[in-house]
Amino acid sequence: MDAWITDTGPWERFPYFTRANADEVGPEPFSPLGWSLAWVKGTGPGAADGYVSFGVFRPEEMEPRLSVFANYGGYFYNALSTARILGVRMPGASPEAVDAAYFGDHPGVPPYEPDPRDEDPELSEALARRVEWLFSTDSFPELDEAVALTLRTRDARPDLSTLSDAELVAHARDLVPLIREVWRPYCMVLLGISIVSGTVAEIVKGLGRSDALIPLFSGLGGVESAGGSLGVWKLSRHVRRSAELTEAFDAGVTGVLERVRRLADGGSPEAKAFLADHDELIAEQGHRGPHEWDLRAECWATDPSLVLGMIDLVRAQGDDHDPAVLAGRSGEEREALTSSLAATLEGEPETRETLLAALRASNLLFRLREAGKSACIRLYFEVKLALRELGRRAAQSGAIDGADHVFFLLDEELDAFVGDPGSFAATLRQRVADFAVLAGLEPPYIVDSRVGPPPIGEWPRRGDAGTAGLAGAGDVLQGGPASPGRATGRARIVEDPATAEFEVGDVLVCRTTDPSWVPLFLAASAVVCNVGAFASHAAIVARELGVPCAVSVVDATARIPSGATVEVDGGTGTVTILSVG
């Protein structure tokens, strides 16, 4: 297998694509249907619209692609070349600064190649005005309306069981323009965060207080992606305080919901309260799950065991780890630190006001980032449900081997599939097998779309590339600071939160996280991620929950021995191996 069916073609104007910052969003390959329908026709165009609305590009510069993302071997890539244009056109920025934010000291990054078309004084003026707006606004109504749109769409969901196969496909496709609509303001928020948080970083660095950067973004409150963990925490308290619920969970996660329902039917008030809060959590957060940017992925609503397993783990955690209490403490520390820095800058009123304005804007945008992401995933969930029903019917009739095989179609094949599902069975069977191979490979870090990536058969297996071998006692792995605090515990390498062998107090070591991982944060003493930055999901949620976190610890899952005792300093980004074995 030299290539994959969703591989992106060449783009001469903006040729370079990178896994930097993309490996957090898409650590696993995307299904063909997830990419060709939701991403090519919804997410990519919506992000391009966001770049245009923010003032980085003119609409015609995005044509005919209307996309700022790519896919190679099933893996998601960011467009490095378009990000560099932001560095060229943003007053006070540079392509080199963009590269530093993306890559740090990563080797092999192609140099920026100046192009006369990159300069655009008119757009630079527009970007300057956008920055002024960022530093003065206290709301972003467009994002708020996008969130409201997704809630209305969820509430208006038709009874999918009554739709014909063709109507299911039409319904799924009708939702894709809404994905584009919501992604536009969401992309604008993402661009805004890079600007205002960068300003904060520069000011605290100038004060010799780079150590203050992470605490300044801690305990913000109202971070939506933490909502799932708070719901899991509440349910775990039900179990911890009830002997009969404890007995139901002690019998194993499999079948536990049925056992609790029997208790409720028998009149148990504890069981009734648990079910009420469980149903509310699924209704509000059921769209979340592992690898949630792909339509094929299971989520809390489609696989209840994902949540029940987390509850089973977190019920062992003591009440002193209440995430609301921990977040409140972080918030108090943030406010005190802000006041201290403001006092230090009393003699520099302009810098002082810039810092305070940037912090206000950052705090708003970090909350909007998570709300916007949840809104996007909520729409993906609606598309997913329609296609899952289509796949269920085809599998039930024996036309295809499994219901999820429908996600190995391309969008342009859906109509023919509806007409004759069985004719695709062999093709889908082969794609499923090929996809399993892709999932075990390490994709190239940077791709020049003009020549494309190396043949897939030459890609190294995951875990074989870029590792310096297992770390030993006394070794210090340097990553990036993400959430302040220091903790010591047993390292647990986790690939899948649903099947994690994890105990309260362990240090969670993983490639990256999404909201489906967050309940593990409630049990972990600290979190270590291979990839990410201080504005990544793991960092934002860890700060919200008061859990020390280090990100961009290169090859952490390959270098840290599982079971080793490690110390994580989330303020410096270091992971120290204290003992092995």
pLDDT, residue 465, reads 43
The mean pLDDT values, 10 residues at a time, for the chain of 581 residues are 94 91 86 97 95 94 79 95 93 85 72 94 96 93 97 97 98 98 96 88 90 84 75 94 97 96 97 97 91 94 91 90 80 91 95 95 90 95 98 98 98 98 98 97 94 95 67 94 93 83 91 77 91 79 88 90 95 95 74
Sheet architecture: strand order including 75-79? 69-72, 75-79, 16-18, 446-448
Q: Count CB atoms within 10 A of the CB of residue 139.
A: 9
The answer to whether 222 and 540 have CB atoms below 8 angstroms apart is no
Q: How far apart are CA 533 and CA 552, in angstroms?
A: 7
CA–CA separation, 218 and 543 (whole Å)? 5
Question: Are the beta carbons of 533 and 552 closer than 8 angstroms?
Answer: yes
**Nearest alpha-carbon partner for 477 in 463, 465, 491:** 491
Bridge partners of 579, per DSSP, are 565
**pLDDT attached to residue 106:** 67
Instruction: Give the list of residues 6+ apart from residue 157 with CB closer than 8 angstroms, or none.
Output: 382, 385
Amino acid residing at 467: T
The rounded radius of gyration (Å) of the Cα atoms in the chain is 24
SS3 letters across 318-335? CHHHCHHHHHHHHHHHHH
Q: Report the pLDDT value the prediction gives residue 462, as an integer from 0 to 100.
A: 81
CA–CA distance, 136 with 133 (Å, rounded to integer): 5
Angle between helices 243-250 and 269-285 (to 10 degrees): 60
Per-residue pLDDT, 64: 63
Among 11, 9, 8, 4, smallest CA distance to 31 is for 4
pTM flag (> 0.85): yes
Of 545, 509, 516, give the one whose Cα is nearest residue 530: 509
CA angle 401, 404, 406 (to 5 degrees): 85
Give me the sign of the Cα torsion angle 17, 23, 27, 30: negative
Nearest to 175 by CA among 417, 420, 375: 375
Q: State the pLDDT at residue 328.
A: 80
**Phi and psi for 263 in degrees, rounded to 5?**
-65, -40
pLDDT, residue 105, reads 61
- SS3 at position 485: coil
pLDDT confidence of residue 154: 97
Instruction: Name the one residue in this structure whose structure tokens are 């305080």.
Output: 241
Helix axes 80-89, 121-134, angle to 10 degrees: 90
By the 8 A CB rule, do 88 and 99 touch? no
Q: How many residues does the chain have?
A: 581
Q: Report CA-CA distances (Å) from 66 to 11, 60, 74, 534.
A: 11, 9, 20, 29
